[in-house]
Amino acid sequence: MSRIATRFEQLKGQGRTALIPFVTAGDPGPETTVPLMHAMVAAGADVIELGVPFSDPMADGPVIQRATERALAKGVRLADVLAMVRAFREQDAQTPVVLMGYLNPIEVMGYAAFSEQAQACGVDGALIVDVPPEEGHELVTTMKAHGLDLVYLLAPTSTQDRIRRIGEVASGFVYYVSVKGVTGAGHLDMADVAEHVAAIKAMIPLPVGVGFGIKDAETAARVAQVADAVIVGSAIVSRIESLAASPEQIPAAIADVLASLRSAIDAA
């Protein structure tokens, strides 16, 4: 069983909802990321989503765009992100790590080379934002052959047909985008989220995470009532941005943010 599946099994046994923080790898600099990952685990993160910087992040809102620009300015590339995961694994063999990014850096590295190195570094899966199942056959086959999970987005605009189709290729968990928009957008309509998550769960036998637009502990608690995982990105990255000039304070500050999300989710 994959590390992701194992983690969700454990949580299910405990009756808990997963907390999945997203941070951009190498933001504000490469030395921050690994200590930050450990601090997030200590503060209650169940899975870590690590953003791979790309020059043209078309699905991301301004907060994550700026994080990407900070990381790229420090020269952080896909190979560096893989090295960060390898360093993280030296002290943490349990917490699943999912890469989130865009196809082109993987395309240039080569699907086989990427999959081999990701597996060797201890990556558990990837969510490649601009690869729908229609375009992903070769990539999915190669990644799965290396034991990597393929996490897919589902959107408010996904039809029943599309949900079914994504269910056929997704593994690990699926990620419901709770608003029409980019990362960090708008406020979410809870009734709408509950309805969509229920529809997805009826068709796909995987845990369902909800993200995009979860800005505070209160929203996280409400989402936790309907989802298997609460995914928080822009709210964390925005706090990192505010501390970009004093990066040594980032792990502790983000641990505080996660601790409050964790207790709100567990109380829900």
**What does the alpha-carbon distance between residue 230 and residue 233 come to, in Å, rounded to a whole number?**
10
Does 65 help bind other proteins (rule: CB under 8 A)?
yes
Residue 258 and residue 240: Cα distance in Å, rounded? 13
Question: In the complex, what is the shortest distance from the CB of residue 74 to other proteins, in angstroms, rounded to a whole number?
Answer: 13
Active site residue 228: no
> Residues 60, 124, 149, 228: which is the catalytic one?
60
Asked if 107 is an active-site residue, the reply is no
CB of 227 to other proteins, least distance (A): 17
- Count of residues touching other proteins (by CB under 8 A): 45
Distance, in Å, from the CA atom of 47 to the CA atom of 99, rounded to the nearest integer, reads 11
Whether 22 contacts 237, CB under 8 Å: yes
Q: Which of 1, 15, 157, 245 binds other proteins (CB under 8 A)?
A: 157
- Does residue number 213 form part of the binding site for other proteins (CB under 8 A)? no
Structure tokens at 123: 């990556």
If one asks whether residue 159 binds other proteins (CB under 8 A), the answer comes out as: yes
Q: CB-based burial of residue 170 (10 Å sphere; 0-12 exposed, 13-18 middle, 19+ buried)?
A: buried
- Picking from 170, 134, 114, 132, the residue whose alpha carbon sits closest to that of residue 2 is 170
Binders of other proteins among residues 223 to 252 (CB under 8 A) are none
Residues assigned a catalytic role: 49, 60
Residues in touch with other proteins (CB under 8 A) = 54-62, 65, 69, 72, 77-79, 102-109, 129-132, 134-135, 152-159, 162, 166, 177, 180-182, 185-186
